[in-house]
């Protein structure tokens, strides 16, 4: 048996198992062993049903009876009910809005149920209990004597403590038959339960297999950071006898994951440093003139960023820089200066023409906006600027007027880009299609794009033997640990200063009874000619047949309601992700021309949209968004020196929700909010590790700056000593397998 063997070599799987395991991304034995528990439940602390009192949080063990789902039309949510019976009695179970529960469990199923005892003493029930199927053989364990004090101590600790275990792992594991006190609870999918995982993993996690596992992480590194070996960690993570062991194991896997990502980044960085790039002389007076011609004085942060970028581009090595700055911090001016320096250069050895630059934006709306602003920035320079998007191409200036741009055919545009007559090309992804060929592409600027890797850059090189410089820009505030991890190959510059004169946005949390008043405040702005956004969490009304229908405001219904009941005298339109790019463009155009007063939208307006006259935002269901995301959303209304307002309306008004939202009035910038998201809501709320191919355990590691820094330091050191993994073949192989799973590029 090898780890790469498919599951079917070790298990007889039903179709239901297969499809559930596929959903969880588990295909071979290794995937199974790397399917880590989401938590552990402790045996020996179950209550008896007789004698429960309201308000208690309890864990019960018993069998299910008479589960059924009723649709209660008054409440508009389905209610499932049933009973749990143990030797002492029986209690009602009740779930709201989880109709599938009744279908998942048969009568007589043995379960652990945890939840809060609710109701009156005569009519008790367990509200929304969590169920875990268990095996009859596991029941005995639950009645085992309670845990000893050492274990209690280690359980009270949280986070990832440093220590591994002084005992060798075979001592603790093969001393066997002292069964684990802790029950691993796994992320499940319909068809495979935690019980299934416990059995399956116990079946393969035995000595012969474990002895054959080679640990890819060098022993010296494990020793230095006191991390358990792979074999030990696998046992400890699935079948811990003590929580301390499970924690040490999780710490190892977290380190492992970040280490591999860092290895990939470090290798990329090293390879790139050997490449040639265009040497761009930024001392030219044209660049200084360009900066002086800004319609504003550059902030100190902008000047610093410009200086660093120009220095990068002068070095002859490809620049790889990430410019991170809050919405409105003025990234465009910095990018424009880099463009200016680039297109001011002649290609080496040529008498005519200039180097070229490409500027890529994530949406057509933004690409068009940038085209317009670059026309202004380069007003005084005799420079052609092209725009390429899925729905059309433009060139500035037009033949007839130096002030106007003109639509041109794609073929014509591509011809001019290929012969170098258009030095600056702005566009969406259409920009990096194969057919777009530059003559001397020296700089690529990527706006609001989270990753753009060496691979794509090399694809753009075409005839050149030199790699273009890369300036990546983002307003997505992410915590430092995440930045170090996913952007490990980039140099980082922060624009941590806003242009002067910006009034801090006034952010208010609106109470239920304050809604009307908030609308009046919006009306006040509308009356003096400003515009407003209303953000809703959903596009459409929930489908009542869907089990998970959210009871949240939808763009379509809310727009209709506002028009009918609140703002009949104003023009209202909608914007959401299911509209075609053309529809979105046309709505945005109407909004920027002020033909629309109120734009009701989903969070699609989050990215980059710039309508200076919009000064108010009302956010429905604010608790559904992360702090960093709310911050970005409200950034849409701080585009000018007008006072801006943001009203947050939360449907759930728990103290925790309010506390979280209040941070929006106190935090200094988006980065601070991102850190708070990480601490308060956990890594799951950072926009999802899935997006980057990082697992839950890896995301968990991001709370731990020391761990991330250690993984990065070790990866850099290892790559610079042994780039080809000649001394670490197992590590090299494992990296090759994993690199295919990162979705960084
Ligand atoms: P972002 O960083 O979000 O891309 P932009 O580059 O779009 O920000 O800039 C936002 C607005 O601020 C633009 O209207 C821009 O002209 C203006 N701006 C940029 N830098 C300054 C500055 N130093 N002083 C005043 N206004 C500025
Ligand atoms: Mg921008």
**In a shared domain, residues 126 and 152:** no
Q: Return the SS3 of 107.
A: coil
Nearest-CA residue for ligand 1 atom 17 is: 330
Write down the pLDDT at residue 145. 30
* 499-519 confidence digits (pLDDT tens): 887 788 899 999 888 899 999
pLDDT at 158 over 70: no
- Nearest-angstrom CA–CA distance, 350 and 353: 7
Number of neighbouring beta carbons within 10 Å of residue 655 = 7
Q: Which residue has the tokens 């410089």?
A: 469
299 lines ligand 1 (CB under 6 A): yes
Identify whether 602 is part of a domain.
yes
Q: Which residue has the tokens 């106007």?
A: 404
pLDDT at 148 over 50: no
| 331 Cα–ligand 2 center, Å | 6
pTM: 0.70
| 148 Cα–ligand 2 center, Å | 58
**In a shared domain, residues 119 and 147:** no
Report residue 3's pLDDT band, with 50, 70 and 90 as the boundaries.
confident
473 lines ligand 1 (CB under 6 A): no
191 lines ligand 1 (CB under 6 A): no
- Choosing from 643, 668, 693, the residue where a domain stops is 668
Q: Going edge to edge, which strands form the sheet with 469-474?
A: 406-408, 392-396, 385-389, 424-427, 356-360, 441-447, 469-474, 320-325, 491-495
Identify whether 115 is part of a domain.
yes
689 lines ligand 1 (CB under 6 A): no
331 lines ligand 1 (CB under 6 A): yes
Residue 87 lies in domain: 63-131
Write down the pLDDT at residue 198. 87
**In a shared domain, residues 610 and 462:** no
Write down the pLDDT at residue 382. 80
CA nearest 195: which of 27, 45, 17?
17
* CATH, residue 455: 3.40.50.300
**In a shared domain, residues 451 and 355:** yes
Q: Which residue has the higher pLDDT, 723 or 190?
A: 723
Taking CA 78 as the corner, what is the angle to CA 133 and CA 651, rounded to the nearest 5 degrees? 100
Identify whether 485 is part of a domain.
no
The dihedral sign for the CA sequence 138, 139, 140, 146: positive
Q: Which residue has the higher pLDDT, 183 or 239?
A: 239
596 lines ligand 1 (CB under 6 A): no
Report residue 544's pLDDT band, with 50, 70 and 90 as the boundaries.
very low
- Nearest-angstrom CA–CA distance, 29 and 31: 5
| 497 Cα–ligand 1 center, Å | 11
pLDDT at 141 over 60: no
330 lines ligand 1 (CB under 6 A): yes
- Choosing from 166, 195, 212, the residue where a domain stops is 212
**Concatenated DSSP letters for 140-160?**
HHHTSPPPPHHHHHHHH--S-
Q: Which residue has the tokens 């947050």?
A: 648
| 331 Cα–ligand 1 center, Å | 7
**In a shared domain, residues 102 and 157:** no
Identify whether 194 is part of a domain.
yes
**In a shared domain, residues 71 and 111:** yes
370 lines ligand 1 (CB under 6 A): no
- Choosing from 165, 195, 212, the residue where a domain stops is 212
Q: Going edge to edge, which strands form the sheet with 572-575?
A: 506-510, 645-649, 614-619, 531-535, 598-601, 572-575
Domain count, the chain: 4
Nearest-CA residue for ligand 1 atom 18 is: 330
* CATH, residue 113: 2.40.50.140
Report residue 169's pLDDT band, with 50, 70 and 90 as the boundaries.
very low
What DSSP element (H or E) covers 42?
strand 39-42
Report residue 640's pLDDT band, with 50, 70 and 90 as the boundaries.
confident
Contact yes or no for 708/485 (Cβ under 8 A): yes
| 499 Cα–ligand 1 center, Å | 7
Helix ranges (DSSP H) in 157-229: 169-174, 194-204, 207-212, 219-224
Contact yes or no for 386/417 (Cβ under 8 A): yes
328 lines ligand 1 (CB under 6 A): yes
Identify whether 481 is part of a domain.
no
**In a shared domain, residues 206 and 103:** no
* 73-107 confidence digits (pLDDT tens): 566 677 889 999 988 889 999 887 777 777 778 88
Q: How far apart are the first and last CA of the chain?
A: 34
Write down the pLDDT at residue 43. 63
Percent of the chain at pLDDT above 90? 36
CA nearest 537: which of 635, 627, 604?
604
296 lines ligand 1 (CB under 6 A): yes
CA nearest 340: which of 368, 292, 377, 366?
377
- Nearest-angstrom CA–CA distance, 409 and 601: 33
- Nearest-angstrom CA–CA distance, 479 and 704: 11
> Which atom of ligand 1 is the closest one to the Cα of 297?
23
pLDDT at 548 over 50: no
What DSSP element (H or E) covers 58?
strand 57-72
CB-based contacts of 678: which residues, under 8 Å, 6+ apart?
479, 481, 482, 685, 686, 702, 703
**In a shared domain, residues 598 and 456:** no
Write down the pLDDT at residue 724. 92
Average pLDDT over residues 117-130: 85
**In a shared domain, residues 36 and 69:** no
**In a shared domain, residues 540 and 632:** yes
Identify whether 704 is part of a domain.
no
* 353-401 confidence digits (pLDDT tens): 899 999 998 888 889 889 999 999 988 888 899 999 888 899 998 877 7
Nearest-CA residue for ligand 1 atom 26 is: 499
Write down the pLDDT at residue 157. 34
325 lines ligand 1 (CB under 6 A): yes
Write down the pLDDT at residue 143. 40
CA neighbours closer than 13 Å in the CB half-sphere of residue 92: 16
Write down the pLDDT at residue 400. 77
Bridge partners (DSSP) listed for residue 646: 507, 617
**In a shared domain, residues 145 and 116:** no
Identify whether 221 is part of a domain.
no
> Which atom of ligand 1 is the closest one to the Cα of 610?
7
Percent of the chain at pLDDT above 70? 86
Report residue 623's pLDDT band, with 50, 70 and 90 as the boundaries.
confident
298 lines ligand 1 (CB under 6 A): yes
Identify whether 83 is part of a domain.
yes
**In a shared domain, residues 437 and 548:** no
332 lines ligand 1 (CB under 6 A): yes
Write down the pLDDT at residue 139. 62
- Nearest-angstrom CA–CA distance, 582 and 390: 10
Contact yes or no for 606/599 (Cβ under 8 A): no
| 193 Cα–ligand 2 center, Å | 46
Report residue 280's pLDDT band, with 50, 70 and 90 as the boundaries.
very high
């Amino acid at each position: 048996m090898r780890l790469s063997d498919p599951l079917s070599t070790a298990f007889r799987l039903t179709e239901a198992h297969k499809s559930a395991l596929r959903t969880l991304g588990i295909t071979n034995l290794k995937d199974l062993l790397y399917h880590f528990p989401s938590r552990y439940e402790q045996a020996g602390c179950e209550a008896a049903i007789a004698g429960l009192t309201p308000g208690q949080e309890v864990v019960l063990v018993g069998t299910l009876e008479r589960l059924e789902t009723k649709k209660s039309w008054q409440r508009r949510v389905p209610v499932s009910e049933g009973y749990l019976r143990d030797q002492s009695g029986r209690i009602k179970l009740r779930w709201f809005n989880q109709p599938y529960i009744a279908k998942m469990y048969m009568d007589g199923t043995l379960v652990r149920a945890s939840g809060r005892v609710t109701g009156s003493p005569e009519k008790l029930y367990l509200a929304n209990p969590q169920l875990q199927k268990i095996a009859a053989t596991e029941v005995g364990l639950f009645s085992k004597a309670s845990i000893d004090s050492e274990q209690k101590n280690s359980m009270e600790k949280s986070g990832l403590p440093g220590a591994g275990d002084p005992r060798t792992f075979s001592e603790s594991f093969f001393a066997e038959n002292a069964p684990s006190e802790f029950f691993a609870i796994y992320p499940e999918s319909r068809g495979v339960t935690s019980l299934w995982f416990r059995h399956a993993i116990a079946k393969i996690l035995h000595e012969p297999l474990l002895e054959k596992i080679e640990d890819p992480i060098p022993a010296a590194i494990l020793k230095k950071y006191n991390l358990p070996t792979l074999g030990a960690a696998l046992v400890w993570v699935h079948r811990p006898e003590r929580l301390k062991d499970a924690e040490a194991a999780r710490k190892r896997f977290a380190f492992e994951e970040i280490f591999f990502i860092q290895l990939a980044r470090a290798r990329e960085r090293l390879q790139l440093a050997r490449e040639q790039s265009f040497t761009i002389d930024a001392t030219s007076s044209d660049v200084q003139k360009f900066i002086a011609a800004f319609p504003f004085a550059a902030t100190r942060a902008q000047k610093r960023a410009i200086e660093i970028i120009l220095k990068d581009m002068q070095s002859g090595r490809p620049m790889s820089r990430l410019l991170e700055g809050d919405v409105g911090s003025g990234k465009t001016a910095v990018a424009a200066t880099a463009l200016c320096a680039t297109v001011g250069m002649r290609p080496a050895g040529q008498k005519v023409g200039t180097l070229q630059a490409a500027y890529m934006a994530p949406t057509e709306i933004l690409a068009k906006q940038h085209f317009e602003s670059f026309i202004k920035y380069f007003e005084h320079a005799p420079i052609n600027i092209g725009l390429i998007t899925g729905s059309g191409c433009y060139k500035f200036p037009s033949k007839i007027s130096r002030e106007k741009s003109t639509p041109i055919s794609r073929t014509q545009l591509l011809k001019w880009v290929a012969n170098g007559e258009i030095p600056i090309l702005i566009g969406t992804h259409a920009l990096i299609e194969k057919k777009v060929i530059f003559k001397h592409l020296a700089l690529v600027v990527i706006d609001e794009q989270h990753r753009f890797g060496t691979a794509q850059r090399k694809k753009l090189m075409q005839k050149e033997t030199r790699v273009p410089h890369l300036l990546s820009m983002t307003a997505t505030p992410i915590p430092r640990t995440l930045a170090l991890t996913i952007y490990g190959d980039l140099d980082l510059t922060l624009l941590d200063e806003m242009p002067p004169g910006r009034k801090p946005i006034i952010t208010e949390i609106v109470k239920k009874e304050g809604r009307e008043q908030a609308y009046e405040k919006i009306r006040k702005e509308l009356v003096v000619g400003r515009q407003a956004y209303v953000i809703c969490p959903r596009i459409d009304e929930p489908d009542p047949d869907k089990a998970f229908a959210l009871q949240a405001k939808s763009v379509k219904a809310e727009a209709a309601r506002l028009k009918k009941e609140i703002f009949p005298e104003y023009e209202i339109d909608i914007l959401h992700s299911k509209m075609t790019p053309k529809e979105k463009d046309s709505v945005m155009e109407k909004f920027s021309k002020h033909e629309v007063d109120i734009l009701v939208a989903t969070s699609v307006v989050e990215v980059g949209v710039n309508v200076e006259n919009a000064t108010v935002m009302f956010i429905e269901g604010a608790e559904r968004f992360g702090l960093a995301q709310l911050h970005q959303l409200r950034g849409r209304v701080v585009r000018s020196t007008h006072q801006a307002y943001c009203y947050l309306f939360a449907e759930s008004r728990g103290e925790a929700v309010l506390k979280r939202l209040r941070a929006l009035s106190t935090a200094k910038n988006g980065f601070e909010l991102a850190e708070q998201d990480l601490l308060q809501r956990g890594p799951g709320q950072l926009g999802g590790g899935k997006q980057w191919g990082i697992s839950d355990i890896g995301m968990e590691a991001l709370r731990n700056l020391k761990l991330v820094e250690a993984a990065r330091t070790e990866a850099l050191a290892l790559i610079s000593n042994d780039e080809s993994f000649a001394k670490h073949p197992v590590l090299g192989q494992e990296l090759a397998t994993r690199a295919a799973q990162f979705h960084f590029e």
